[in-house]
Copies of this chain bind each other. A is one copy, B any other.
């Protein structure tokens, strides 16, 4: 096991994010034994059957005792709860890291709990799908994606380096930034779009003036556009509540933009509408 980046790893929350990391590190030969932790037995058994993890435990405290790296990947609000439970049982030199979609809240809650000799490195892979659980995990999820690490002044340099190498082994480009910037950028490019998608589906689906389900007329555009509204409700409740300030700010910005568009439509502003759509198309096309 000498050459392994991480001889023993424990994944707490063996779902899409944690399971995919385990698979990616196994595929890269960067990890030895992976122990999965969770509440539901069926998901953990399936995770072993699918080769996502090597063994599992429903006792988080015991499962971290010999781990070199503990990866937290439960919904955001439960991350500090699980950290509080496992940190006192981790061995000296071990690293706790996470994949939570919000960073300021998590760092504020977890950092004060970290005992001397144990290291905490906050992280967030910018990758995912709308599906959940170990069955949704796949080895290439992080390939050619970005992973953001948000070290603080307390973060150990060597621990940060190991976590960086872990995500690189999983196929990602690693960037670092401070927690506040992370949370604002993610509010814009991910959290806001999810809120908009959820609200759009509810607005359209609640329009019951026709005596039939109008969604049956929807075509590919609507399906693609609303795919992210299939995401896990508890995960998004947690994200919305823990990144509240940045998210409310972005929703406000979006509301102003939509109000401007609405006014142009009401006023029949041909040129202004054309330019609004063109500006958006140009920005969107530049992503390709």
Contact = CB atoms under 8 A, between A and B. Distances in A.
Quickly give the copy total for this chain: 2
A247 B225 contact: no
A28 interface: no
A200 B233 contact: no
B284 A230 contact: yes
Interface in A250-272: 250-251, 253-259, 261-262, 265-266, 268, 270
Contacts of A234: 274
A219 B190 contact: yes
Interface stretch (A9-17, A80-88, A275-283): A275-283
> At the interface, is chain A mostly helix, strand, loop or mixed?
helix
A193 to B, nearest CB: 5
Interface stretch (A42-50, A151-159, A202-210): A202-210
Contact of A254 (B203, B219, B232): B203
B190 A221 contact: yes
Interface of A: 126-130, 145-146, 148, 181, 184-186, 188-190, 192-207, 209-210, 214-215, 217-234, 236-237, 240-241, 244, 247-248, 250-251, 253-259, 261-262, 265-266, 268, 270, 273-281, 283-287
